[in-house]
């Protein structure tokens, strides 16, 4: 369940996001007299699953429950839907927010796809921060048919893990419900996010700091099988490493070892050489030349 605080006259609201889902940016001059600007939603979509963006070419039928100042017509004439591949992924948006506050998400819906004509044909789930906000949303069960807009509000608290008011992600995800009788589909036309004051305070941390904890990905458990880390080394890495090692050994044996041997031999030869390159005479040679060291052969006699 999504928790809900007491909303009274002392509670302040701050709009932090206003998105035209699946459509272009809307300037304040194109709003319904409320001077609001609506941004595109692409930059907040998680992953490559961006879905389809159909366009409605008929007038929007506002009601007492959803008057025209709720949102301008372009919001309800465009949407982002999941399409045929909807069972394989979630349609997910990520909104950076300050931790430690309640947030109200206002989701705008309008049935604009002509194939959907009956209740029960399209039923989908809504997840907010890994909590089931709506198990079975069937818009055709809440409106009179195509072109009739509605909005639904959901409030969630974003935990402050360390009391630092750091920035973390607020996740919104849609996924088809198997209760759908004909189409596995989910869609959204517009999204507004409001920050609710805590103790009469809306202040953000300055400077901003991102939380160190990683937010949990918003997907049903059955859709997210656990992926274990593969600790096996790639065979290509083993082959490349072996070849590289063999090359290093070959280089050492061919070039380094002979060079070291030549250098050692040269050093040994240098040590054996006399600094004066003269002939060496043995004792036998000297006795023969001096007649057994006869005094007559002494130089100077």
- Are residue 136 and residue 94 in the same domain, yes or no? yes
Tokens of 12: 């302040």
Residue 103: give its domain's CATH number.
2.60.120
Our CA angle for 84, 82, 225, nearest 5°, is 85
- Name the range with the highest mean pLDDT among 79-88, 156-165, 249-258, 276-285: 156-165
- Is residue 112 assigned to a domain? yes
**Residues with Cβ < 8 Å from 209, sequence gap 6 or more?**
164, 166, 167
**Residue 147 DSSP label:** T
Q: How confident is the model at residue 140 (pLDDT cuts 50, 70, 90)?
A: confident
Q: 65 CB contacts (<8 Å, ≥6 apart)?
A: 150
| Residue recorded with tokens 């590289």 | 244
* pLDDT value at residue 11: 80
Query: pLDDT at position 224, please?
Result: 33
Same domain (yes/no): 58, 184: yes
User: CA-CA distance, 116 to 230, in Å (whole number)?
Assistant: 45
Q: Which long-range contacts link 4-9 to residues 24+ away (Cβ below 8 Å)? A: 4/155, 5/102, 5/155, 5/157, 5/196, 7/196
pLDDT over 90 percentage in the chain: 40
**Domain edge (last residue) among 177, 198, 223:** 223
Residues 148 and 179 grouped into a single domain: yes
- Above 80 in pLDDT, residue 204? no
Is 241 within the bounds of a domain? yes
Same domain, 50 and 186: yes
> Both 183 and 267 in a single domain?
no
Q: Is there a domain that residue 7 lies in?
A: no
Last-in-domain residue among 223, 257, 288: 223
Collapsed DSSP state (helix, strand, coil) of residue 170 = strand
Q: Are residues 247 and 217 in the same domain?
A: no
263-295: pLDDT as tens digits: 555 554 544 554 555 566 677 777 777 777 777
* Span 68-124, pLDDT tens digits: 999 999 999 999 998 765 667 889 999 999 998 999 999 999 999 888 888 888 889
Name which residue leads in pLDDT, 167 or 273: 167
- Find, among 118, 123, 107, the residue nearest to 185 by Cα: 123
Same domain, 163 and 28: yes
Whether 104 contacts 193, CB under 8 Å = yes
pLDDT score of 243: 52
For the beta carbon of residue 73, count every other beta carbon within 10 angstroms: 18
Residue 64 lies in a domain: yes
Contact 212, 164 (CB under 8 A): no
Same domain for 26 and 48, yes or no, is yes
Whether 128 is covered by a domain: the verdict is: yes
Whether residue 57 is preceded by a cis peptide bond, meaning omega within 30 degrees of 0, is: no
Average pLDDT of the chain, as a whole number: 78
Q: Which of 173, 202, 223 is the last residue of a domain?
A: 223
261 confidence band (pLDDT: 50, 70, 90) = low
Question: With bands split at pLDDT 50, 70 and 90, how would you rate the model's confidence at 225?
Answer: very low
At 218, the pLDDT band (50, 70, 90 cuts) reads very low
Is 139 in contact with 111 (CB distance < 8 Å)?
yes
Pairing mode of beta strands 167-176, 91-98: antiparallel
pLDDT computed for residue 260 by the predictor: 59
**Ramachandran assignment for 279, one of left (phi > 0), alpha (psi -120 to 50 degrees), beta (any other):** beta
In a domain, 260, yes or no: yes
Q: Which of 16-20, 115-119, 166-170, 240-244 has the lowest mean pLDDT?
A: 240-244
Question: Quick check: helix, strand or coil at residue 228?
Answer: coil
112-126, 177-191, 254-268: range with lowest mean pLDDT: 254-268
Residues 240 and 91 in one domain: no
Q: What is the pLDDT of residue 286?
A: 73
Q: Is residue 273 located within the same domain as residue 156? A: no
What are the angstrom distances between the C-alpha of 53 and each of 77, 116, 118, 178, 256?
10, 16, 21, 23, 68
> In which domain, by residue range, is 104 found?
13-223
Domains held by the chain: number: 2
The yes-or-no verdict on residue 31 having pLDDT over 80 is yes
Q: Say which residue the tokens 């950076």 belong to.
A: 96
pLDDT at 25 over 80: yes
Same domain, 87 and 176: yes
Within a domain: 167: yes
In a domain, 230, yes or no: no
Q: Which residues are registered as beta bridge partners of 84? A: none
pLDDT in the model for residue 197 = 83
Give the pTM. Answer: 0.67
Report yes or no: 140 and 191 within 8 Å, Cβ to Cβ.
Answer: no
* Whether 58 and 157 share a structural domain: yes
DSSP letter (8 states) at residue 216: P
Phi, psi (rounded to 5 degrees) for 92:
-130, 140
With a CB cutoff of 8 Å and minimum separation 6, the contacts of 213 are 161, 168
């Amino acid at each position: 369940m999504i928790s809900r605080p007491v909303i009274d006259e002392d509670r302040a609201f701050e709009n932090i996001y206003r998105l035209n889902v699946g459509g272009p940016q809307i300037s304040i001059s194109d709003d319904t007299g409320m001077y609001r600007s609506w941004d595109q939603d692409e930059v907040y979509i998680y992953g490559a699953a961006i879905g389809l963006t159909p366009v409605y070419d008929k007038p929007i039928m506002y009601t007492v429950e959803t008057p025209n100042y709720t949102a301008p017509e372009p919001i309800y004439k465009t949407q982002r839907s999941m399409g045929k591949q909807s069972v394989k992924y979630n349609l997910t948006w990520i909104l950076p927010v300050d931790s430690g506050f309640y947030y109200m998400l206002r989701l705008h819906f309008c049935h604009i796809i002509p194939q959907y004509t009956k209740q029960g044909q399209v039923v989908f789930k809504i997840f907010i921060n890994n909590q089931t906000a709506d198990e079975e949303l069937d818009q055709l069960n809440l409106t009179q048919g195509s072109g009739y807009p509605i909005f639904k509000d959901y409030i969630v608290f974003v935990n402050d893990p360390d009391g630092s008011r750091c920035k973390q992600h607020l996740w919104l995800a849609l996924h088809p419900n198997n209760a759908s009788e004909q189409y596995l589909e989910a869609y959204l036309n517009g999204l507004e996010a409001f920050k609710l004051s805590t103790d009469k305070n809306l202040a953000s941390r300055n400077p901003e700091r991102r939380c160190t904890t990683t937010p949990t990905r918003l997907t049903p458990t059955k859709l997210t099988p656990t992926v274990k880390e593969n600790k096996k080394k790639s065979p290509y890495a083993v082959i490349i490493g072996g070849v590289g090692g063999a090359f290093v050994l070959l280089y050492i044996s061919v070039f380094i070892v002979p060079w070291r041997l030549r250098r050692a031999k040269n050093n040994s030869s240098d040590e054996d050489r006399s600094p004066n390159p003269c002939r060496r005479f043995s004792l036998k040679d000297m006795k023969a030349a001096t007649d057994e060291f006869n005094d007559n052969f002494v130089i100077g006699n």
